């Protein structure tokens, strides 16, 4: 029986990791705008702030029956007292009462001001009423409350026969202003607005950015064949807190990641079988596209099938392959010295375990790198190495920055072009690839690297999620 998946809409789910990755690219703008609006909120609160002072006093309301008899207060009395308190509250806020209070404070403020200044709260499950006055004058706040405490009981006891009111605590002149909550609230609101605005700008900019976002873009926007799509694999760690490059030999490499390189290996093997290609140059448009990691993984999966593979470090200016592979520095046995004839090729080439391939390193910085790579000695060296190795993988500097890749493409069988998702501008990629094609170099195809694309056709990560375990 065919079983259908419950995750029918899984391809339509929002990729939170991709959104976070895009926001990280714009972290400077996000941090800057968040801080600016938070500071703006603080300054607005500071300018807007006017110190206010609160004074408060309390009343107690009770039914007249208990007032005359002095009997113990029952729960029904408390309920009646609370009902009376609500009635008293209406009376206290009436215009006649407020006019009396205004007269009591020598008409310093009118009834409308007093109504806005005072709040009356009935304490839950009690007979207590709390009256608070808030003004910019601490003495005035206290006088308004005390005026109410003085005048209100007599008037209410006279007007309302069912109950009485009695003052409990008079108001004191406050010594300090009310805490300014806006100084905390406004910066928080500003920071939230800054983050949301900047994040929105970042996501819209990413949406309309002219970079490669999917495997389809390789064909439609670059006009190139797709050799493979390598899913993002950022979680590899050798030890706690120490990250290692995402190599397929690590046990933590997931199945989809490894299968992506095996698929690329098959296409490279077909190129060798059909066209006799053995020497492949690996390059990219800009730095940080992952081309060196891709080159190492390609060499690894080729070696895993029993092929004799040589990895040549073709970056004579900024090599860090020794650090990636954990190889001790050996300046004497570099490719530069081999080309110059000061070192035998057999001494310079080393087998790297557990990767299973051989390496010819470039350890010395050379200002005349292009001249060395374009020399007859380099061309003759590759001819000699082709007789010994099944595959030769040459890692080169970014093609849009340095001409070394262009120079080496003339003595290589084919170019494998690494394109990192959402990284280099399509216009720059096409311009760089065009320089290769203008020089008659053969481009075998592109590898979309660090991809989080979730289309069902290309999404091997989801397909292999539970497969092969």
CATH value at residue 258: 3.40.50.300
Q: Inform me whether the pLDDT recorded for 362 exceeds 90.
A: no
> Looking at the structure, do residues 119 and 216 belong to the same domain, yes or no?
no
User: What pLDDT does 69 receive?
Assistant: 45
Q: Inform me whether the pLDDT recorded for 363 exceeds 80.
A: no
259 near 266, Cβ under 8 Å? no
- Residue 453: closest CA among 442, 461, 464: 461
- Rounded CA-CA distance 185/46 in Å is 12
> Looking at the structure, do residues 365 and 392 belong to the same domain, yes or no?
yes
How many H-runs (helices) and E-runs (strands) does the chain carry? 19, 14
Q: What is the CATH number of the domain that holds 163?
A: 3.30.70.1130
Lowest mean pLDDT among 1-5, 161-165, 308-312: 1-5
User: What pLDDT does 237 receive?
Assistant: 40
85: in domain = yes
> Looking at the structure, do residues 112 and 245 belong to the same domain, yes or no?
no
Peptide bond into 354 cis (omega under 30): yes
> Looking at the structure, do residues 247 and 119 belong to the same domain, yes or no?
no
Between 210 and 69, the more confident residue is 210
Q: What is the DSSP letter of 223?
A: -
244 near 237, Cβ under 8 Å? yes
- To which H or E segment does residue 391 belong? strand 391-395
Side-chain-side CA neighbours of 168 within 13 Å: the count stands at: 14
> Looking at the structure, do residues 92 and 192 belong to the same domain, yes or no?
no
5: in domain = no
Would you call 187 helix, strand, or coil by DSSP? helix
- Residue 300: closest CA among 364, 358, 363: 358
Task: Give the DSSP letter string of 80-134.
Answer: HHHHHHHHHHHHHTSHHHHHHHHHHTTTSS-HHHHHHHEEEEEPTTSSEEEEEEE
Token pair recorded at residue 105: 């404070």
- Which residue do the tokens 């035998």 mark? 344
> Looking at the structure, do residues 296 and 159 belong to the same domain, yes or no?
no
Token pair recorded at residue 442: 């053969």
> Looking at the structure, do residues 130 and 233 belong to the same domain, yes or no?
no
User: What pLDDT does 5 receive?
Assistant: 36
Mean pLDDT over each residue of the chain, to the nearest integer: 83
pLDDT band at 458 (very low <50, low <70, confident <90, very high): very low
> Looking at the structure, do residues 43 and 81 belong to the same domain, yes or no?
no
469: in domain = no
Burial of 19 (0-12, 13-18, 19+ CB in 10 A): middle
391-427 tens-digit pLDDT: 999 999 999 988 899 999 999 999 999 999 988 999 9
User: What pLDDT does 73 receive?
Assistant: 54
9: in domain = no
42: in domain = yes
> Looking at the structure, do residues 41 and 136 belong to the same domain, yes or no?
no
Q: Inform me whether the pLDDT recorded for 121 exceeds 80.
A: yes
Q: What is the domain extent for residue 93?
A: 53-169
Lowest mean pLDDT among 66-75, 180-189, 306-315: 66-75
Q: Inform me whether the pLDDT recorded for 382 exceeds 90.
A: yes
Query: Which residues, 6 or more positions from 124, have their beta carbon under 8 angstroms from its beta carbon?
Result: none
User: What pLDDT does 166 receive?
Assistant: 82
Between 157 and 441, the more confident residue is 441
Say what the pTM is.
Answer: 0.61
185-208 tens-digit pLDDT: 999 999 999 999 999 988 887 777
- To which H or E segment does residue 446 belong? strand 443-451
Q: Inform me whether the pLDDT recorded for 228 exceeds 90.
A: yes
276: in domain = yes
Task: Give the DSSP letter string of 50-69.
Answer: ---EEEEEEEEEEEHHHHHH
Lowest mean pLDDT among 237-246, 293-302, 345-354: 237-246
> Looking at the structure, do residues 311 and 416 belong to the same domain, yes or no?
yes
- Which residue do the tokens 């003495």 mark? 139
256-288 tens-digit pLDDT: 899 999 999 999 999 999 999 999 999 999 999
User: What pLDDT does 77 receive?
Assistant: 61
- Residue 268: closest CA among 445, 420, 449, 459: 445
Q: What is the DSSP letter of 136?
A: S
User: What pLDDT does 376 receive?
Assistant: 93
Total of domains in the chain: 3
Phi, psi of 13 (to 5 degrees): -65, 150
User: What pLDDT does 74 receive?
Assistant: 58
> Looking at the structure, do residues 308 and 341 belong to the same domain, yes or no?
yes
Alpha helices in 326-409 (DSSP H): 335-340, 345-348, 369-373, 376-386, 404-409
Token pair recorded at residue 444: 């075998």
pLDDT band at 356 (very low <50, low <70, confident <90, very high): very high
> Looking at the structure, do residues 44 and 57 belong to the same domain, yes or no?
no
Give, in degrees to the nearest 5, the angle at Cα 248 between 289 and 414: 55
Most confidently modeled range among 37-51, 60-74, 120-134:
37-51
- Of the three residues 169, 194, 229, the one that is the final residue of a domain is 169
221: in domain = yes
206 near 22, Cβ under 8 Å? yes
4: in domain = no
User: What pLDDT does 106 receive?
Assistant: 87
């Amino acid at each position: 029986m065919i079983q259908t998946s419950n995750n029918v809409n899984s391809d339509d789910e929002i990729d939170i990791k991709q959104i976070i990755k895009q926001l990280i690219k714009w972290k400077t703008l996000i941090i800057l705008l968040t801080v600016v609006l938070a500071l703006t909120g603080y300054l607005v609160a500071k300018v807007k702030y006017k110190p206010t002072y609160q004074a408060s006093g309390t009343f107690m309301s009770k039914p007249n029956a208990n007032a005359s008899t002095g009997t113990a207060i029952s729960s029904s009395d408390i309920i009646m007292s609370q009902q009376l308190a609500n009635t008293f509250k209406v009376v206290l806020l009436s215009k006649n009462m407020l006019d009396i209070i205004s007269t009591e404070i020598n008409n310093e403020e009118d009834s409308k001001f007093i109504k806005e200044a005072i709040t009356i709260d009935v304490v839950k499950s009690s007979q207590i009423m709390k009256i608070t006055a808030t003004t910019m004058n601490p003495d005035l706040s206290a006088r308004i409350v005390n005026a109410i405490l003085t005048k209100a009981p007599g008037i209410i006891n006279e007007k309302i026969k069912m109950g009485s009111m009695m003052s409990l605590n008079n108001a004191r002149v406050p010594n300090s202003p009310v805490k300014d909550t806006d100084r905390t609230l406004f910066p928080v609101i500003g920071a939230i607005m800054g983050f949301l605005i900047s994040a929105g700008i970042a996501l819209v900019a990413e949406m309309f950015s002219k970079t490669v976002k999917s495997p389809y873009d390789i064909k439609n926007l670059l006009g190139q064949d797709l050799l493979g799509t390598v899913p993002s694999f950022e979680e590899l760690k050798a030890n706690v807190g120490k990250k290692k490059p995402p190599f397929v030999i690590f046990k933590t490499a997931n199945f989809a990641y490894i299968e992506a390189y095996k698929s690329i290996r098959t296409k490279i093997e077909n190129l060798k079988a059909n066209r006799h290609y053995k020497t492949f140059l690996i390059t990219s448009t800009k730095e940080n596209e992952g081309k060196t990691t891709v080159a190492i993984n390609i060499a690894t999966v080729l070696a895993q099938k029993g092929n004799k593979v040589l990895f040549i470090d073709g970056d004579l200016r900024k090599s860090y392959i020794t650090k990636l592979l954990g190889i001790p520095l050996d300046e004497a046995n570099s490719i530069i010295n081999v080309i110059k004839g000061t070192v035998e090729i057999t001494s310079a080439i080393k087998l790297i375990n557990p990767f299973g391939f051989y390496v010819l390193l470039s350890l010395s910085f050379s200002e005349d790198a292009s001249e060395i790579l374009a020399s007859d000695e380099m061309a003759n060296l590759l001819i000699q190495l082709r007789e010994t190795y099944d595959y030769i993988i040459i890692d080169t500097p970014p093609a849009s920055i340095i001409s070394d890749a262009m120079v080496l493409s003339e003595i290589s069988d084919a170019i494998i072009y690494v394109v990192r998702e959402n990284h280099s501008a399509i216009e720059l990629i096409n311009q760089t690839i065009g320089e290769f094609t203008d020089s008659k170099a053969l481009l075998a195809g592109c590898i979309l690297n660090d991809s989080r694309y979730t289309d069902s056709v290309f999404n091997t990560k989801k397909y292999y999620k539970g497969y092969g375990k």
